[in-house]
Amino acid sequence: MINVAVIGCGYWGPNLIRNFNSLNECKVKLICDTDKNRLSYLSGIYPMIKTTTRYDDIINDSEIDGVAIATPVSMHFKLAKKSLLAGKHTLIEKPMTSSAKTCKELVETAKEKNATLMVGHTFIYSPIVRKIKEIIEHNDIGELLYISSRRLNLGLFQKDINVAWDLAPHDISIILYLINQEPIAVNCQGKSHMNTGIEDVTSMSLDFSSGGFATIQSSWLDPNKVREMIIVGSKRMIVYDDTQTLEKIKIYDKRVETPPHYDTFAEFHFSYYYGDVYSPYIKQEEPLKIECQHFLDCIKTGSIPETSGQDGLRVVQVLEASSKSLQEGGARIKIADI
């Protein structure tokens, strides 16, 4: 039996508690939050789980094998560093930390302590996203040309990070997973409308060494909740709409072809192909449950998580580059400089 503790019981922490509690080989031994009312509420749901307002109670408990951290980003590094130094396997919610420097430090600490370090890039465990990757790898859409992503809604406004740091980690992690390459540069523009210095609308673009390209729009100021990603290939295109209940992905048999040869400009015409649209059946499973199970499996086997500390570092490098680009009016920032 693997004993797990959860630090942070606000928005996301209860989801971690619920999923870990549902797994047979896991026991949620202790949960921590500074808000006693939240702890009291969760005690009513899970009377068998002990609570504390002191995270050191978790760090100092030798019976706890794994720690899941779901606090504000500003606390991630401090708590994760303490957890890893205590030899505990550690799962950190996205983004991993607030800087690439501290991410690297956690990766090194985990290596030194031979502890699992995993980041909560939940969508990588989604059967939908995995199906999209399978389609791309089987060359069913041809050459991957570009990815366009939109993650928009009205709120929730954060006080310590901008909308790119809040919403874009999901899209960045998915894009890196699908393209399977390191981005080389980032451009980002945005505006602060509600809180000075904290952008609530951003538009980010990522360049890849292969010539691949991706765009990410993030907003806390949109009237509708939008969770859409468009993957454009040379043969077909995929639309992934996570707000849909059943048909979350649709494959469009559409493409644009250039003529193989022409003698004059008058003879040059693009050829537009319009085929069928279909939505493959995908068995629905909760990604977070798969993620929690994977964390336990990595603890048992010592294997590297699919969303490792190194993956968390890559996402934060993109976010740091986006922040620098914002400060420089949308300038192109090389990842190598971060």
Tell me the three state secondary structure of residue 181.
coil
In this prediction, residue 256 carries a pLDDT of 81
For the chain, the domain total comes to: 2
In this prediction, residue 171 carries a pLDDT of 98
Please indicate, yes or no, if residue 297 is contained in any of the structural domains: no
* Residue 325: CATH number of its domain: 3.30.360.10
In this prediction, residue 263 carries a pLDDT of 59
In a shared domain, residues 157 and 72: no
In this prediction, residue 262 carries a pLDDT of 58
In a shared domain, residues 19 and 41: yes
Please indicate, yes or no, if residue 184 is contained in any of the structural domains: yes
- Sheet containing 237-241: which strands, arranged edge to edge? 271-278, 249-257, 237-241, 221-233, 144-154, 213-219, 201-208, 183-191, 333-334
Q: Which of 120, 143, 163 delimits the end of a domain?
A: 120
Query: Where in 111-200 does DSSP place strands (E)?
Result: 117-120, 144-154, 183-191
Q: What is the mean pLDDT of each run of 10 residues along the chain (338 residues)?
A: 97 97 96 96 96 96 97 97 98 97 98 98 97 97 96 90 96 97 96 93 96 96 96 96 94 81 58 84 94 98 97 98 97 92
Structural domain of 41: 2-120
Q: Which of 81, 101, 120 delimits the end of a domain?
A: 120
In a shared domain, residues 148 and 195: yes
In a shared domain, residues 55 and 146: no
In a shared domain, residues 40 and 140: no
In this prediction, residue 54 carries a pLDDT of 96
* Residue 6: CATH number of its domain: 3.40.50.720
